[in-house]
Amino acid sequence: MSYKGIDVSHYDGNINWRIVKEHIDFAILRLGWIGNTHHELDTKFEIYYNECKREGIPIGIYVYNYCNTPETAKIGANWAVNHLKGKHIDLPVYIDMEDISIEHLGRKTLTDICIAFNKVIQDAGYWAGVYANLNWYTNYLNKDIIKERYTTWIADYGVSEDRFEGQYDMLQYSETGRVPGISSNVDMNIMYRDLINEIKGSNPGTDP
């Protein structure tokens, strides 16, 4: 069995979550972005979080990464954990690895950035994951290490929704989806693995 969901940020504007919940199984919210010297909270995060909780929509988190060293990624992860205190998260916290400014760092450093970020996330009691597109997973990350350690979320548009079943845990298959309750295009995802119940059953302590 698979599950349909969306991922959203402030770019998606005002969302009528009461309508949206009839059409999705989960939502992954952008907490914000992290960089080497500055981090920024998504302006819609608190609103989206509270409204999803009100409507009973399972929530995951993603953090867009600009950090170019494992050390700054660790600091960014601590910033993320601080903003998640007191919140119940039903799905993993994903580091979003796709920015062109860090492509040149090489497979080892980019993978080490994921590891540094995700260690902090796991130590705080959350499940950790990595989001990247097919090009990044293939050419910029050590995907075998990531698959062994974390849950995986891949982006590849225009493919069949079962394209990566058994290879990755979740696929972002469109950036031009339409969902009632959202006026703009929205990213669409299919989750192959029942992470909601796995996380619930593992009692990971998602309220640090």
What is the predicted pLDDT for the residue at 202? 80
What is the C-alpha to C-alpha distance for residues 168 and 138, in angstroms, rounded to an integer?
A: 12
**Residue 96's beta-bridge partner residues?**
64, 131
Identify whether 115 is part of a domain. Answer: yes
Is the distance from CB of 32 to CB of 83 less than 8 angstroms?
yes
pLDDT by residue for the chain (208 residues), tens only, comes to 899 999 999 999 999 999 999 999 999 999 999 999 999 999 999 999 999 999 999 999 999 999 999 999 999 999 999 999 999 999 999 999 999 999 999 999 999 999 999 999 999 999 999 999 999 999 999 999 999 999 999 999 999 999 999 999 999 999 999 999 999 999 999 999 999 999 998 854 434 3
Q: What CATH number corresponds to the domain at position 29?
A: 3.20.20.80
What is the predicted pLDDT for the residue at 206? 39
Identify whether 93 is part of a domain. Answer: yes
User: Would you give the DSSP letter of residue 63?
Assistant: E
Identify whether 207 is part of a domain. Answer: no
Q: Is residue 200 helix, strand or coil?
A: helix
Identify whether 208 is part of a domain. Answer: no
Phi, psi of 175 (to 5 degrees): -110, 5
What is the C-alpha to C-alpha distance for residues 101 and 97, in angstroms, rounded to an integer?
A: 11
143 Cβ partners below 8 Å, 6+ apart? Answer: 137, 152
Is the distance from CB of 19 to CB of 180 less than 8 angstroms?
yes
How many domains does the chain divide into?
A: 1
Identify whether 98 is part of a domain. Answer: yes
Identify whether 37 is part of a domain. Answer: yes
What is the predicted pLDDT for the residue at 203? 54
Task: Determine the structural domain holding residue 180 and report its residue range.
Answer: 3-202
